[in-house]
Chain A
Amino acid sequence: MAKLITIRHLRQLGMGMLVAVLMLAGALPSQAAVEHAPPTADHSKFRSLEGPFETASDVTEACVKCHTEAAGQIKATTHWTWLYKHAETGQTLGKNQVINSFCGMAITNEPRCTSCHVGYGWEDMRQPPPEADSAVDCLVCHDTTGEYWKFPTLAGDPTYIPREWPKGSGKIVQPPDLPNIAQNVGASGRANCGSCHFYGGGGDGVKHGDLDSSLVTPDRSLDVHMSPDGGNFSCSDCHTTWGHSVSGSRYQVNAKDTLGIDVPGHTDLSRASCESCHGGAPHHKEKLNDHIDKLACQTCHVPAFARGGVATKMWWDWSTAGKLDEEGKPITEYDEHGHLSYLSEKGDFRYGENVLPYYAWFNGTVEYTMIDEVLDVENPPLEINRIEGGPDDPDSRIWPFKLMRGKQPFDTERKTLLATHVFGADDSSLWSNYDWPKALQAASDMSGMPFSGNFDFIETRMYWPITHMVPPASQALRCGSCHAGESRLAGIGGIYIPGHSANPWLDRIGWLVVALTLAGVIIHGLLRVVFRKRKQS
């Protein structure tokens, strides 16, 4: 009986505590979701948007009748030119110029790659994008219905007839209802930016690691800013725009924002850094603020990436592409987690979820290995991009990165990287005939870069700064994640981390002296006991 009562009491106590905890949780100040002002125009009331529209380009023509400067603004941005002149390194970067460790270069794979161009009909990247204002794609950024989708193989256009995608899947993509979409345009949301930026590298989450479709409606624990239960931010709440030019660059990162909170009239109004809103000393605990000079916010506040259930590609070995099964058909293999591990078109992959970042000093400047750069092929892995910075550089901080690794083709005679013509309904693309020499030669013809005809594969690395997927502060790294023998920052160099760094000689000598003292004391004590006994006897 006594036992029963005890258990019941315990249960009541437990329930009571649970209720108390829930009440406490309810009483905690919840984050207010960001409110966006109501629009001043209801686009469904515009007669010019009633349609019918033959193509999406016709919608743009209607848009620019009122928004007279919009197309010109877009055409001045990196989103349009795919060119970026780097102020620090002098390199001309941008999708038009760089090679990466995913599908190589955009220029050899249009119209697949140009399907993400913020325009229509850029079918030949050797030429600049089409010049007409109506070639600008307004809808990809301003559609609020979710019905607008740039078809992957149409150089930026949606499909205007029912089409199968992915090829061979039996799934049919229907043409979009353009008048409905045009009448429901609005401010860009997460899904708009995500329709391209979440799918870089050829699939959901493949490229960045901290950008994938899980961020369309993320849980608070995945992204406290973008979660509808958190700040419900759109991308542009931080990536503020100025005449359609979006702030925040991966080529020239603001690795240490010393401007602090951006106040109108005082600073540049770009909010694409944590400090823009949180300032330079955001922690209540002073000692945490003491870390800000050396650590990027993201280093502690993005404990892992690819946390939303979408895996990201960590390894891509092109050298094994092209194997076919006994019937001469392409092979598809999956790993134990159900992620792709081999495709005849693309070679071997390793995907990762909840990946711990790679950490490095970074001052924000990224230099690229350009396609015509002569490589040090004797010392792989080769760095496709190089992140600048170091412990003695006051503009540098320790940043988290996704370290993308893999193998990709290079010219053994000219010692340069090689672009691959992977996509194309022609006879020369890798994905149509699995013939490397043909695909590389075709890419050379398309890009204008010479190819000796001799090639091999070299291991490469590429660094992708991690900055999204910030969970609530309670999920940030603990002190011991770095201040421990097994530290996340092991090998970072140039910084003394208490609890991790130590002079081994001081420890050896120190503990030796302590041990000798202890031994001396014990021997002395034992001798005292022995001599006392002798005296007594």
Chain B
Amino acid sequence: MSRVLVYKRFERFWHWLQALLIFSLLITGFDIHGSYSLLRFGDATQLHTIAAWSLIVLWLFAIFWHITTGEWRQYVPTRKGLFAVMYYYLIGTFTGAEHPYRKTTKAKHNPLQRLAYLFFKLVISPIIWVSGLLYLFYNDWPATLTGALNLETVALVHTAAAFAMLVFIIAHVYMATMGHTLTSLIKPMVTGYEDLDEPASKS
């Protein structure tokens, strides 16, 4: 066992800023949707729009980072060991079994995580992104779009994706507590370092 840098500085910055922005977007978004009334509608939409633009910029940086560092490979799905991980979360965690996945800096997400994050990145986020921009620029739609789409459909898709995002976050936050101790998975996301079965990295 040795302390290695699992999450690099930009990765952590991206993760936590994204977390902050997504929480802001969820809170203001469901306020705009009318689920509750914490803020005035005008303030809620303004905050929502600012947070959305910030997140889009952050995503552009993150996409660039993933491509240039090759870190995108962390999310390539695999079936190898997938069922073992699922079995562990359903049964093994209660019987005291060890987590079947051995984390390395080259493959730091277990097969289930890979799938979940890939779904987040390739399905939920793009849908939210595209439907949100359509929503924001509803008045500037070209005529071809106006004939094919309406605001109600866009709002429906955007809201459905927001529910998916909320479900993802509940599961994600909970599963972050499922390490050896409650915080053993969260700490590396803050400090960057984790004890792994591999030689100490030189950063």
Chain A interface (Cβ < 8 Å from any Cβ of B): 287, 290, 293, 478-480, 483-485, 496, 498-503, 506-507, 509-511, 513-514, 517-518, 521, 524-525, 527-528, 531, 535
Contact = CB atoms under 8 A, between A and B. Distances in A.
A293 B139 CA distance: 9
Contact of B33 (A479, A502, A531): A502
A80 B177 CA distance: 84
Interface in B16-51: 32-35, 37, 40-42, 45
Given A514-B170, A528-B94, A290 B156 contact: no
A514 B171 CA distance: 10
Given A498-B33, A502-B34, 4 more contacts: A496-B152, A525-B174, A531-B94, A531-B96
Given A484-B34, A484-B37, A496-B151, A513 B94 contact: no
Interface string B64-99: 000000000000000000000000000001111000
Given A290-B139, A480-B41, A517 B167 contact: yes
Contacts of A517: 167, 170-171
A510 B41 contact: no
B: contact size bracket = 20 to 34
A480 B96 contact: no
Contacts of A509: 163
Contacts of A484: 34, 37, 41
A510 B33 CA distance: 13
B37 to A, nearest CB: 7
B184 interface: no
Contacts of A524: 174
A234 to B, nearest CB: 35
Contacts of B34: 483-485, 498-500, 502
Nearest to A522: B174
B160 interface: yes
A521 B171 contact: yes
A513 B163 CA distance: 8
B156 A479 contact: no
Contacts of A499: 32-34, 41
The 9 nearest A-B residue pairs measured at CB: A510-B163, A479-B41, A479-B42, A290-B139, A496-B152, A531-B94, A480-B41, A521-B174, A483-B41
A491 B37 CA distance: 21
B145 interface: no
A52 B37 CA distance: 71
Given A485-B34, A496-B150, A528 B139 contact: no
Contacts of A535: 96
B53 to A, nearest CB: 14
Contacts of A503: 152, 156, 159
A159 to B, nearest CB: 55
A494 to B, nearest CB: 10
23 contacts: A290-B138, A479-B40, A483-B41, A484-B37, A498-B33, A499-B32, A499-B41, A501-B152, A502-B155, A502-B159, A503-B152, A503-B156, A503-B159, A506-B159, A506-B160, A506-B163, A510-B163, A511-B163, A514-B170, A517-B170, A517-B171, A521-B174, A528-B178
Contact of B40 (A480, A485, A528): A480
A514 B166 contact: yes
A521 B33 CA distance: 26
Nearest to A516: B167
B45 A479 contact: yes
B42 A514 contact: no
A481 B92 CA distance: 54
B40 A478 contact: yes
B49 to A, nearest CB: 8
B159 A510 contact: yes
A480 B42 contact: yes
Nearest to B39: A480
A509 to B, nearest CB: 8
Nearest to A518: B170
Contacts of B96: 531, 535
A500 B33 CA distance: 7
A531 B94 CA distance: 6
Contacts of A531: 94-96
In this complex, the member of A485, A498, A509, A535 whose beta carbon has the largest number of chain B beta carbons within 10 angstroms is A498
Nearest to B178: A528
Given A517-B171, A525-B174, A528-B94, A507 B35 contact: yes
Nearest to B35: A507
Nearest to B89: A524
Contacts of A293: 139
Tell me which of B40, B95, B163, B170 has the highest count of chain A C-beta atoms within 10 A of its own C-beta: B163
Interface in B162-203: 163, 166-167, 170-171, 174, 177-178
B95 to A, nearest CB: 7
A313 B58 CA distance: 58
Nearest to B175: A521
Contacts of A514: 163, 166-167, 170
A135 B42 CA distance: 57
Nearest to B93: A528
Contacts of B156: 503, 506
B90 to A, nearest CB: 9
Contacts of A510: 159-160, 163
Interface in B138-153: 138-139, 150-152
B150 A498 contact: no
Nearest to A525: B174
Nearest to B43: A479
A484 B138 CA distance: 19
Contacts of A507: 35, 159
B157 to A, nearest CB: 10
Contacts of A527: 94
Contacts of B150: 496
A517 B172 CA distance: 11
Nearest to B151: A496
Nearest to B170: A517
Nearest to B163: A510
Nearest to B157: A506
A514 B170 CA distance: 8
Contacts of B171: 517, 521
A387 B170 CA distance: 51
A287 B94 contact: no
Contacts of B152: 496, 501, 503
A514 to B, nearest CB: 6
Contacts of B35: 507
Nearest to A487: B34
Contacts of B95: 531
